[in-house]
Structure 1
Amino acid sequence: MNMNVTNPYCFTLALFSVALVMSLALRYLRKPKGAQLPPGPTGWPIIGNLFQMVMNRPTHLWIHRVMKNMQTEIACFRFAGVHVITVTSSEIAREVLREKDEALADRADSYSSNLISHGYKDIIFSSYGESWKLMKKVMVTKLMSSSTLSKTLGDRTLEADNIVTYVYNLIPLESMTKSVNVRDVALTYSHAVMMRMMFGQRHFEEPTEDGGLGRKEREHMDAIYQAIDCFYSSNISNYISCLRGWNIDGEEAKLREAVDTINRCNDPIIQERMHLWRNKGGKETEEDWLDTLIMLKDDQGMPLFTLDEIRAQCKNINVAAIDNTMNNVEWTVAEMLNHHEIIEKATNELDMVVGKERLVQESDIPQLNYIKACSRESFRLRPANAFMPPHGAIEDTTLAGYFVPKGSQILVSRLGLGRNPKIWDEPEAFKPERHLYDRAGDSMGVTLMEPDMRFVVFSTGRRACAGTKIGASMTIMLLARLLQGFEWTLPPGTSQIELVPAESNLFMAKPLVASVKPRLALHLYPKMQI
């Protein structure tokens, strides 16, 4: 989200407040004799590059512009007392996430991360430590284990069927073609899968007649995206903690409203389920992730998680389950519409691997190498956000030979890695074929994993996303179902899709609209199952 700096009083007040914490800032500025920080732009006394950050929006474009002008793949920006180290090199990114993984496994403290996580009671935003390790273990071994994902396969297949039916029902029978909002379709699927797996239900209230998102689901989804935008925005209070709660940038009020909305949607289900399990004996079996979180016990047989910890974990799943799939599928379809030969190759692969007598299933994904290559290329070229969530330095360390002080924030650039000309030939071009062959020119199996950090999908190391398998399956299943079930073409009167990203995030600036008509026998389009 863009910050509002039109009020000079607010900004003057912020700068004045910085002076009050000069001693704190100076503590961060000390470094060992002879130690050299990464190169960076010249800043002001005390506030460093804070004024430049405020005056150059969006911040991620300014940071990348500065690094390009300085011809560096690692840079240091000082925002008041905080060093922010930015990285656009795959070699340095691997150092961050492998060699120095433990030293840089912390998270940055901010108003947004604190509010979203109910005071750091979650896995995404909380500091590195024993509590975090326990939550990560639960996510990996319980919620995201192979056995759990196998048990919930039916829920995901159900929603893959539903999204095909939803699109089919949008098409008038008399014309058999329709202009469809691809973003709305992707969001409908992503939200429904997340709800099924987390809460065991598709809707908060009454289902809609057409199978799309209802009023409360849209409010929930909009609030999730608002919270994500606030987290990724560069607020002054991120770097001057005494200003938190003053709403200087206007972002904190938006975030509070978003978190309140998410809580209004989630909390009644969580509280009712906790009462059911802990006061009324529960259900016959644990059916979804919420059941599992509630029923986990510690060594003394007591509930492992408190109400607020469960609320925080549910909000983590909300935040993590939606943006990547929606963003990737929308950009991939947009690129395909501009390159007819790519969409033709993708549908030909589906016809060869799956055929036209049944719908594609998750079990087909290992063989859909070209479709996975298209998705990988979109992740490389069109990430949802410019940077990964910041890593925090637990101790003094080094990166690429430069000194990194304790308390520094390290931002690995998704854009910088994915479009680095030292890594990629024609980095601005959409070329799925680049992912089909290894460096020796031999064909290889394609996955969405990228452990070498040549671009970012799900990250790696201690802070890697626990839901890589489910995230990859959701993305490829949605893309494959849309391509198999329908013929996608440019809207009438359009010669090309305008590929322009938004500023606050990197989603398409305008939701993608495309013409669609069925390409399978009518009996293959299932009935909606609410």
Structure 2
Amino acid sequence: MSYTFTIVLFSITLVLALAIRFLRSKKPKVQVPPGPKGWPIIGNLLDMIMNRPTHLWIHRVMEDMQTEIACFRFANVHVITVTSSKIAREVLRDKDEALADRADSYSSNLISHGYKDINFSPYGEKWKLMKKVMATKLMSPTTLNKTLGDRTLEADNIVTYVFNLCGLGSKMKPINVRDVALTYCHAVMMRMMFGQRHFDEPTEDGGLGPKEREHLDAIYRSLDCFFSFKVTNYIPFLRGWNIDAEEAEVRETVDFINRCNDPIIHERMQLWRNEGGKETEEDWLDTLVALKDDQGMPLFTYDEIRAQCKDINVGIIDNTMNNVEWTIAEMLNHPEILEKATNELDMVVGKDRLVQESDIPQLNYIKACIRESFRLHPANAFLPPHGAREDTTLAGYFVPKGSHILVSRLGLGRNPTIWDEPDAFKPERHLDDYTKDSMGVTLMEPEMRFVIFSTGRRGCPGPKIGASMTIMLLARLLQGFKWSPPNGASQVELIAADSNLFMAKPLLASAKPRLVPGLYPKIQI
């Protein structure tokens, strides 16, 4: 019996169980947003199952209906999707508090240790405390300045890592740009969070070790589970049966992340909470462990610290990796853009020193290229779902309490009513936006014409660190190397994956050093 047919049969058996709840639900006084016609009781659930990847089906339905806000009913849950910048601002600004919850799911509950984190937990006093700690402690200007040395060290390491790859014999293999980006992102995350680059033994070449690669793989697999449209997201009493083959996978990934993180967290808590132990905060984990409440007791429990560490694992890696890989791929297909970006680096920084974070304000064309990649190639089709805490309205339509609101990153970034030639890679469009701004190009987008770090209560708590890492990685790779398509090819194939919007295949490219050898530092483990 096929998987799809099993799900169909199983869904039909739910009709009687759901009927009572459905009939008791309040009928909206105002019309919900337009959407496809659904079946009694189960709504559009079968359509969701039969049309994978679901995000493409949702956008296709909205395009056919010529609407920028739509309502899909998956069992008893209204899932409202938005592709309009005006309505997105209403979601994330005007109705921010009313829509500040998160959608409940098996994977988010497991990843967050029962909603003890900032990303997945419901809106409330505990969440507000964690958000405040994240903003005023971990992501404060003081802390970010303190960790500048860690980020610079890994920016040095990554150019040397690529330099070493370039010099391995006369027949050099193309360089895996995704692997390079992940190496940098993971190393920066580890240094700032745990104060160390590796879980076990360091690698000699500066790359990722086996455990780090498994750690990254587990992070991405758990992310895919969170952003998936699964039956159990909308019918909670089915959780625990592994009917869509996701639950076993997310348990496996979370268990592996725990096996990597937990020994470090446990050891650090013992150091801080034993007399004569640690007294100086050196990384983010120190800060989380050392914080006290008004009675002088530890502010966070063990599980809350574990959950916050997972948030950092997830939040600091995917956007930077995805953006830099797509940006270099687009540049390889547009050599004039690649040349212009490289020339900017030569003019602002020169070729006798490596680019630093202090140079970022002057790298406006580099930032314009990054903005254009965020617009065209977000890491996922939607922002994490917002949950309606109360009955409200959007664009004049009724939004019932408990609805899931999905702002489409893909729909905003490629909306033809917002962007001229929406499918074209044109960094110059972002320079035009900032010609009168003395601050130059930034990676903020308050008008929600596309999404970089989101905004509002549920916005990314660390946009500054995310922006700095992305700009520095791209700038170092362009300054340090001359890039070209591999094996004499003239173009790179630009195809997105189905489960997320990463490149379907890791980008392979040829690289040649363009600086004198002495500028590439030794790897610092």
- Smaller-chain TM-score bracket: over 0.9
C-alpha change, 1:434 and 1:79, in structure 2 (3 Å) is same
Q: Which residue of 2 aligns with 1:403?
A: 398
Gapped runs of 5+ residues in structure 1? none
**Does the 8 Å CA contact 2:100/2:386 hold for their aligned counterparts?**
yes
Report the Cα offset of residue 493 of structure 1: 3.3
Matches within 5 A, 1:124-523: 124-172=119-167, 175=170, 178-438=173-433, 445-523=440-518
Structure 1 Cα separation of the partners of residues 434 and 208 of structure 2: 44
Question: What SS does the corresponding residue of 1:460 show, helix, strand or coil?
Answer: coil
Between 6-15 and 102-111, report the one with greater CA deviation: 6-15
Q: Which 4+ residue blocks in structure 1 deviate beyond 4 angstroms?
A: 439-444
Question: What SS does the corresponding residue of 1:463 show, helix, strand or coil?
Answer: coil
**Does the 8 Å CA contact 2:28/2:400 hold for their aligned counterparts?**
no
Structure 2 Cα separation of the partners of residues 5 and 340 of structure 1: 47
Q: Which residue of 2 aligns with 1:17?
A: 14
Question: What SS does the corresponding residue of 1:473 show, helix, strand or coil?
Answer: helix
Report the Cα offset of residue 233 of structure 1: 0.5
**Does the 8 Å CA contact 1:5/1:11 hold for their aligned counterparts?**
no
Amino acid at match of 1:248: I
Gapped runs of 5+ residues in structure 2? none
Report the Cα offset of residue 173 of structure 1: 5.8
**Does the 8 Å CA contact 1:103/1:394 hold for their aligned counterparts?**
yes
C-alpha change, 1:182 and 1:103, in structure 2 (3 Å) is same
Q: Which residue of 1 aligns with 2:3?
A: 6
Report the Cα offset of residue 284 of structure 1: 3.9
Aligned length: 525
User: What is the Cα-based RMSD across aligned positions, in Å?
Assistant: 1.5
Structure 1 Cα separation of the partners of residues 226 and 479 of structure 2: 36
Aligned with 1:61 (options 51, 56, 59)? 56
Question: What SS does the corresponding residue of 1:85 show, helix, strand or coil?
Answer: strand
C-alpha change, 1:9 and 1:297, in structure 2 (3 Å) is same
**Does the 8 Å CA contact 1:48/1:80 hold for their aligned counterparts?**
yes
Aligned with 1:114 (options 109, 116, 122)? 109
Deviations 1:387-419 (A, max 9, x none): 000001111100000000011000000000000
Q: TM-score, with normalisation over the residues of structure 1?
A: 0.97
Matches within 5 A, 1:37-48: 37-48=32-43
Amino acid at match of 1:363: S
Amino acid at match of 2:27: K
**Does the 8 Å CA contact 2:434/2:440 hold for their aligned counterparts?**
no
Question: What SS does the corresponding residue of 1:407 show, helix, strand or coil?
Answer: coil
Deviations 1:216-249 (A, max 9, x none): 0001000000000000000000000000111111
Matched, 1:31 2:43: no
Structure 2 Cα separation of the partners of residues 16 and 91 of structure 1: 41
Q: Which residue of 2 aligns with 1:85?
A: 80
Report the Cα offset of residue 5 of structure 1: 6.4
Structure 1 Cα separation of the partners of residues 482 and 345 of structure 2: 13
Report the Cα offset of residue 13 of structure 1: 2.4
Amino acid at match of 1:31: K
Structure 2 Cα separation of the partners of residues 199 and 496 of structure 1: 40
Structure 2 Cα separation of the partners of residues 370 and 16 of structure 1: 57
Deviations 1:128-152 (A, max 9, x none): 0101000000000000000000000
Deviations 1:178-227 (A, max 9, x none): 51000000000000000000000000000011110101000100000000
Identity %: 79
Amino acid at match of 1:375: I
**Does the 8 Å CA contact 1:196/1:202 hold for their aligned counterparts?**
yes
Report the Cα offset of residue 15 of structure 1: 3.3
**Does the 8 Å CA contact 1:177/1:517 hold for their aligned counterparts?**
no
C-alpha change, 1:10 and 1:437, in structure 2 (3 Å) is closer
Structure 2 Cα separation of the partners of residues 16 and 456 of structure 1: 40
Structure 1 Cα separation of the partners of residues 518 and 279 of structure 2: 36
Deviations 1:24-75 (A, max 9, x none): 23444x2343x11100000000000000000000000000000000000000
Amino acid at match of 1:12: L
**Does the 8 Å CA contact 1:5/1:249 hold for their aligned counterparts?**
no
Report the Cα offset of residue 20 of structure 1: 1.2
